[in-house]
Structure 1
Amino acid sequence: MFMVLKKNLMPDKTEILLEKWDRPEAIEQQETLIIAVAQRLRNELVIPVGQTFGYITKLKREQAKLEKTHMVDARCIADGMKAIPCDTEYHTRALRHHNRQLHKVNPIKGGKRKLNQAPRKVFGFMLWDKVLYNNQECFISGRRSSGSFAVKTLEGKSVHNGVSCKKLKLLE
């Protein structure tokens, strides 16, 4: 469920897409946050700042008869449909840096909770380090205190789930 704030949009302003959360109880908090962020941008930037919404972006995209991609949506939001698109496209991925569960569920004797995480560096390797494994560039997606690692390609395809640190060479 997406909620829409009804505000007058000025066509000469640069538009910023602000989407809604899908939890009904968070809508009021989000509206307050969106208003505060937009006001701060208006105060601190020299360029004009406005707001837009998903249904407006979709309408512009459909009028131009373009497919749904992030680059096309960015052009629709910025009213840059007449601009020549650039050849370079950058892809980003959100990556975790920690485990969600910090401690084991059941405490050990003495009431102390045991950590559910491997140390940040294991045998000199960290999460998302670029490594060479079998002459293939991979990334460390999981680490174990024993010294074995889960490695994946840039696209997220699993290469191996338990590679020894002796078979890896750090690239970056």
Structure 2
Amino acid sequence: MDQLDSDIAEVVITKGNSPEESVLDGIEKLGGISKFIDDGDQVFIKINLRLPFGFPTNTNLDTLKAIIQSCNSAGAKKVYVGSFPIEDITVKAISDSLQLKDYFKEIKIPFPILLLRNSALLVSEKKLAKLEKLNIEIESLFLKTSDLSDRLTHQLSGIKIDFSSQRDHLHRQFMDMYE
């Protein structure tokens, strides 16, 4: 679906007997799922799974099920589910720990595609212009944060930082200590 024309964010407050009831009621009060999803759209649902069985895990799987079903009933071509867990923990590891594939099979919903950390990115035109101005390639945004920081530091400073001689010197010193 194209971006909504409104510059003003719409907010609703709902109450219900369950989280999924409240979410679905909120979507209806905002104009229904068809206001946000057209037939053939590809939908990305960002869930919050930082650690398997860890805190905070505030994604209610019944609510996720209801949202996916709503997207499908609105004609979504494909529903993607993704999260950005703590570094070095993959979404696949969380999916396996929580047995999400079995869960989706049990509730008779096609298993959504789980996007791995940093495998999808939506960039607005404004952000794209800023990236171009800073001469940053979109591909570099998929790097680990530390690698991106290093790359940008080298690119912007123009100073070649090389600690290999210091590393070699320290290595020789440690080797001398053990001889």
TM-score range, shorter chain: under 0.3
**TM-score normalised by length of structure 1:** 0.27
* Greater share of residues in helix: 2
**TM-score normalised by length of structure 2:** 0.26
